[in-house]
Amino acid sequence: MQWEIVIGLEVHAQLSTSSKIFSGASTAFGAEPNTQADAVSIALPGVLPVLNKGAVERAIKFGLAVGAHIAPRSVFARKNYFYPDLPKGYQISQFDLPVVGNGAMTIHVPSTGSTSSPQAGSGQANEKVVRITRAHLEEDAGKSLHEDFHGMTGIDLNRAGTPLLEIVSEPDMRSAAEAVAYAKALHTLVRWIGICDGNMQEGSFRCDANVSVRRPGAPLGTRREIKNLNSFRFLEQAINYEARWQIETLENGGKIQQATVLFDPDKGETRMMRTKEEAHDYRYFPDPDLLPLEISPQWKDEVRAMLPELPQAKQVRYVNDLGLSAYDASILTASREMADFFEAVLVASSPTPSPSPGGRGEIAAKLAANWLIGEVSAQLNRDGFEMAQCPITPQQLGSMLKRIADSTISNSGAKEVFRTMWADGGDADTIIEAKGLKQVSDSGAIEALVDEIIAANADKVAEYRAGRDKLFGFFVGLAMKASKGKANPAQLNDVLKRKLAG
Amino acid sequence: MINASLKQLSAQLAGKRISSVELTQMYLDRIAALNPELNAYITLNPDMSLAQARTADEQIAQGRAQALTGIPVAQKDIFCAKGWRTTCCSKMLANFISPYDAHVIEQFNRAGAVNLGKTNMDEFAMGSSNETSYFGVVKNPWNRNAVPGGSSGGSAAAVAARLCAAATGTDTGGSIRQPAALCGISGLKPTYGVCSRYGMIAFASSLDQAGPMARSAEDLALLLNTMAGFDERDSTSLQRENEDYARDLAKPLNGLRIGLPKEFFAEGLSSDVAQAVDAAIAEYKKLGAKVVDISLPNSRLSIPVYYVLAPAEASSNLSRFDGVRYGYRAPDYADLTAMYEKSRAQGFGAEVKRRIMIGTYVLSHGYYDAYYLKAQKIRRLIAQDFAEAFRQCDVIMGPTSPTTAFNLGEKGDDPVQMYLSDIYTIAINLAGLPGMSIPAGFGAANNGHPGMPVGLQIIGNYFDEARMLNVAHQYQLVTDWHQKMPAEVNSER
């Protein structure tokens, strides 16, 4: 019998404010331990939290970006538990009244193969909507350092009070691949709207996965929560391991107990942290030190005005206005950097700044898309670069595409220009000039060249005229060779056809 | 000199008839003589106090004096003061030197006042007799077998014994007003949010409010002018125009409507207190006030509501005292859990532990709705009662405490009896209203001891402190209860 895997994710995105959520201490990563721990961070007697508006603004941005409800009034609550890196003995979070509720993300799940290879599925992807239950603001804890203290534990409170947005999904995902696609989409989105740097190594984007299994159509099974997955690979491995383990347990007649588990990346296994019975009673209650968070319609509108065009909207525009395929549009909007680069190339290469449907702008858009998805991506990949590290600028690339469009250079010439640009810089016209890559488009010159070839190859011309059409390629080759590859191919074809016809 | 008002002291300082250093030294000498018996102060730092006094004298010499420049003020040990040991009278913080100033302390420093020392209090402000202090009981200057009230018992005793010109207190359920009443002084708890809570060690955040303690309403007004003010570091601090709380002191009381809640004069009120309060009301009638009978039907629930909400908040507020970063840590422990358990078991006193347990219980899964949420609902009803009452009257009056000062140890075994001594003050905190207590005579003599002070409570509507001070001041113009002084401390030096 079949099993269905049910997954919900809780993602902690560290918000990119320069100061902490309830104090003015810096949030910069990597400082000496406790150098960014002010009186509030170490919870001295008598200190009080003051909410950072920047954190709220980022939460609103997120809510608007996923079409969610922005609560006009939400409440900060205290989550009480003792731990050495939790200085107040409680975490300030939001409980029954979160700032963001009821949104959704559309994700594209590769139809076949592993999610780790982007080429899989040859551009085919299934669209799926994952509902977002809520997103709430909270503060991060500090860090316990268990090494280097001779059996004691060191406490670093630099991270204590760093703002987090916890984004909770509905249990809408049915495979590790879907979970990864959703996590990646979120990861793209939070960076796209500039609320989180997305640095997973530094813990700026961490996932908890709630996993359960059931027979199709049955009620939800008992879930286990895998904590603190800080890479997409671990997320996928952990879910797959956990789901297999649950299925085996059930098939062997066992029962699943609600529990929190940790993933051990070295062994590729999940292991029990605590069961529901051992779970804390957090004794949530509204934090009397903070007023309810009120967000006016005006504030919401101001934040909305600050939002960039979102990936989904861009995709629709690329398809409808620029005539790109849905697949190309989704690749070009995989990151803000890619989309920005593409649009800058378009501006640099287009005859008009905003291309209109069906016109020359559409051709320019297709050309730009092809180059970005093709040569540029491949070269970035070969050199191990991110888009942001691309050695050529959109203006450089645009200047080259312009020369392709106006037939100054051929495709093979363009590849040469591109290679030179990538390695040594320079603008297209200078490179074309220096390397002599300009096509011959002077019809007089081409005709003279063709006349010479016809005169010198009378026998082949006769064969051709007698019906050996295949010889056409032979004449093209000769002509190209004679022009040192610079003849405009289309023009050459026209002239050859006309003259060979006699 | 020790009976001079703040205004008079300020004039003496300005006229160079005395310096702040001399005034400070005079109080330090009185403290040296009387404090070993009274135990009103737990921390003194004459060097720091005198340094502030010297600075004040310079300011006065330069003609830059403000109303409180050079005035020695006692600070309740709940306020963090930079360089001062700040303990909340708990073993947990017995060695904690604060690295920063509370907003209230900053305000006094800016005003040029002298910090004369830190006063005794109930541990973490949890108590009504000052008997829960880790540093020992405070004796009531009027009768050394009696309690001074609490939790601001040290401040009240210091003012009553003329060991300072004025003092600060904090009031979560009556902790300024009740000790003021029991020690025969004046004390004011402002509207919640008027004084910043920044740097004031939290007991119950939604109820805690700082306020002045002094001998007269006029002094309270000057002190409140300094203490009040918006502070962006406290999200519950109110952003309002600064006001002069002394502006209305001289207004006549013709037509003032005084509400007398029947619940405040019912069973449980001792007859000597009732008599003194009745006499005070009669005095107000002579001043032109009218009396209106009112009812606060839900006020009878204020003690149970308070003993759900205040411990709930306290149980969480006191979680930071865990032995990890500062404060007391048990000397021996096997592991992390043992470190927490032993440090907190040894660092907190019995009353604090009792309230942490109550608070933890009422917030627990399965009990939250029945206790915490229910109490919050009743809290709103209590506030509505007052809103209703203030449609019929301008101020509400009644006793501050059901009895005069009881004896040390008398209620030690019965926490509920102790809690009942705040029966008339707690509802005001739950509603967030301003309330004050002024001396209104003395109770019955007892076992050869003369009668102890009685406090009259005046409750105002939100932000009506100036009117309440006016009402109190007018009474103090025609009575001299506030000028009475315990005989044994009356030794002018």
Provide DSSP, A344-390.
Answer: HHHHHH-SSSSPPTTSHHHHHHHHHHHHIIIIIHHHHHHHT--GGG-
Structural domain contains residue A406? yes
Question: Do A351 and A453 share a structural domain?
Answer: no
- The catalytic position among B98, B129, B152, B175 is B175
Question: At residue A112, does pLDDT exceed 80?
Answer: no
Question: Do A134 and A73 share a structural domain?
Answer: yes
- Looking up tokens 């470190």, which residue turns up? B339
Contact B86 A78 (CB under 8 A): no
- Looking up tokens 């026998």, which residue turns up? A459
pLDDT at A96: 93
Contact A42 B325 (CB under 8 A): yes
CB B301 within 8 A of CB B426: no
pLDDT at A121: 35
Spell out which chain A residues touch chain B, with contact meaning CB-CB distance below 8 angstroms.
Answer: 39, 42-51, 78, 80, 82, 84, 87-90, 153, 155, 281, 283-285, 288-291
How far is CA B247 from its chain centroid? 23
Distances (CA, A) of A107 to A185, A318, A334: 6, 18, 11
Contact B204 A90 (CB under 8 A): no
Which of the listed residues A435, A466, A485 is the one where a domain comes to its end? A435
CB A248 within 8 A of CB A42: no
Structural domain contains residue A299? no
Question: At residue A478, does pLDDT exceed 90?
Answer: no
The residues facing A90 across adjacent strands are A80
Contact list in A for residue B308 (CB cut-off 8 A) is none
- Looking up tokens 């409750």, which residue turns up? B459
pLDDT at A354: 52
Which of the listed residues A280, A298, A330 is the one where a domain comes to its end? A280
How far is CA B80 from its chain centroid? 16
One-letter amino acid at B101 equals D
What angle do helix axes A394-405 and A428-435 make, rounded to 10 degrees?
Answer: 60
Q: With an 8 Å Cβ cutoff, is B367 touching chain A?
A: no
pLDDT at A436: 81
Contact list in A for residue B199 (CB cut-off 8 A) is 46-47
Q: What is the per-residue burial (b if ≥16 Cβ within 10 Å, else e) of B120-132?
A: bbbbbbbbbbbbb
Q: With an 8 Å Cβ cutoff, is B202 touching chain A?
A: yes
Q: Domain residues of chain B, as ranges? A: 6-258+389-489
Contact list in A for residue B321 (CB cut-off 8 A) is 45
Chain A and chain B share a number of CB contacts under 8 A equal to 100
Window 323-342 of B: residues touching A by CB (8 A cutoff) are 324-326, 336, 340
pLDDT at A123: 52
Q: Provide the domain count of chain A.
A: 3
Contact list in B for residue A155 (CB cut-off 8 A) is 324-325
Question: Residue B124: closest CA among chain A residues belongs to which residue?
Answer: A45
Contact B364 A78 (CB under 8 A): no
pTM of the complete model:
0.90
Helix (H, G, I), strand (E, B) or coil at A49: coil
Angle at Cα A136 formed by Cα A126 and Cα A22, nearest 5°?
A: 140
Chosen for mutation from B168, B309, B325 (greatest number of chain A CBs closer than 10 Å) is B325
A288 Cα to chain B: minimum distance (Å): 5
Which class for A163: exposed (0-12), middle (13-18), buried (19 or more C-beta within 10 A)? buried
Angle at Cα A401 formed by Cα A396 and Cα A403, nearest 5°?
A: 100
Chosen for mutation from B118, B124, B333, B363 (greatest number of chain A CBs closer than 10 Å) is B363
Distances (CA, A) of A397 to A330, A355, A361, A366, A428: 21, 17, 16, 14, 8
* CATH classification of the domain holding A470: 1.10.10.410
Contact A46 B233 (CB under 8 A): no
Question: Do A448 and A393 share a structural domain?
Answer: no
Contact B235 A80 (CB under 8 A): no
Contact A90 B319 (CB under 8 A): yes
CB A288 within 8 A of CB A75: no
B129 is catalytic: no
Instruction: Give the separation between CA A330 and CA A108, rounded to whole angstroms.
Output: 9
Q: Length of chain B in residues, anyone? A: 493
pLDDT at A467: 86
Question: Do A492 and A414 share a structural domain?
Answer: no
Tell me which residue in A88, A155, A281 faces B320 most closely, judged by beta carbons: A88
Question: Do A451 and A413 share a structural domain?
Answer: no
Q: How many CB atoms lie within 10 A of CB A140?
A: 22
* pLDDT tier for residue A359 given thresholds of 50, 70 and 90: low
Contact A90 B316 (CB under 8 A): yes
Contact list in B for residue A25 (CB cut-off 8 A) is none
Question: Do A255 and A395 share a structural domain?
Answer: no
pLDDT at A120: 35
Tell me which residue in A42, A46, A84 faces B336 most closely, judged by beta carbons: A84
CB A385 within 8 A of CB A394: no
Question: Do A387 and A364 share a structural domain?
Answer: yes
- The catalytic position among B19, B20, B76, B98 is B76
Q: With an 8 Å Cβ cutoff, is B377 touching chain A?
A: no
- The catalytic position among B10, B151, B343, B401 is B151
Contact list in B for residue A20 (CB cut-off 8 A) is none
B76 is catalytic: yes
**Closest to A210 (Cα-Cα) out of A250, A254, A246:** A246
**Range of weakest confidence among A113-117, A473-477, B19-23, B236-240:** A113-117
In chain A, the N- to C-terminal Cα span, in Å, equals 74
Which of the listed residues A435, A454, A489 is the one where a domain comes to its end? A435
Q: With an 8 Å Cβ cutoff, is B372 touching chain A?
A: yes
**Range of weakest confidence among A57-61, A78-82, A457-461:** A457-461
Under CATH, domain B6-258+389-489 is a member of which superfamily?
Answer: Amidase signature (AS) domain (3.90.1300.10)
Structural domain contains residue A177? yes
CB B88 within 8 A of CB B201: yes
Residue A107 token pair: 């994700």
Tell me which residue in A42, A45, A48 faces B234 most closely, judged by beta carbons: A48
Q: What is the ipTM of this complex?
A: 0.96
Q: Give the residue numbers spanning the domain of A382.
A: 309-435
pLDDT at A479: 85
Instruction: Give the separation between CA B230 and CA B247, rounded to whole angstroms.
Output: 20
Question: Do A200 and A109 share a structural domain?
Answer: yes
Contact list in A for residue B322 (CB cut-off 8 A) is 82, 84, 89
CB A157 within 8 A of CB A83: no
Residue A218 token pair: 């049955």
pLDDT at B491: 65
Question: Do A205 and A90 share a structural domain?
Answer: yes
* pLDDT tier for residue A351 given thresholds of 50, 70 and 90: low
Structural domain contains residue A295? no
Question: Do A447 and A430 share a structural domain?
Answer: no
Report the run of H or E that residue A108 belongs to, with start and end: strand A100-110
Window 32-61 of B: residues touching A by CB (8 A cutoff) are none
Angle at Cα B489 formed by Cα B485 and Cα B493, nearest 5°?
A: 110
Structural domain contains residue A296? no
Contact B316 A289 (CB under 8 A): no
Tell me which residue in B102, B324, B364 faces A283 most closely, judged by beta carbons: B364
B20 is catalytic: no
Distances (CA, A) of A76 to A50, A73, A142, A377, B319: 12, 10, 19, 45, 18
A243 Cα to chain B: minimum distance (Å): 31
pLDDT at A113: 47
* Residues of chain B falling short of pLDDT 50: 493
CB B191 within 8 A of CB B433: yes
Question: Do A486 and A416 share a structural domain?
Answer: no
Alpha helices in B145-231 (DSSP H): 153-160, 177-183, 217-227
Tell me which residue in B201, B206, B364 faces A45 most closely, judged by beta carbons: B201
Dihedral (CA of A39, A44, A46, A51) sign: positive
Task: Identify which has the larger pLDDT, A488 or B315.
Answer: B315
**Range of weakest confidence among A75-79, A471-475, B22-26, B370-374:** A471-475
B364 Cα to chain A: minimum distance (Å): 5
- Looking up tokens 């989105």, which residue turns up? A189
Rounded mean pLDDT of chain A? 90
Residue B480 token pair: 């001299």
Question: Residue B313: closest CA among chain A residues belongs to which residue?
Answer: A288
Question: Do A370 and A233 share a structural domain?
Answer: no
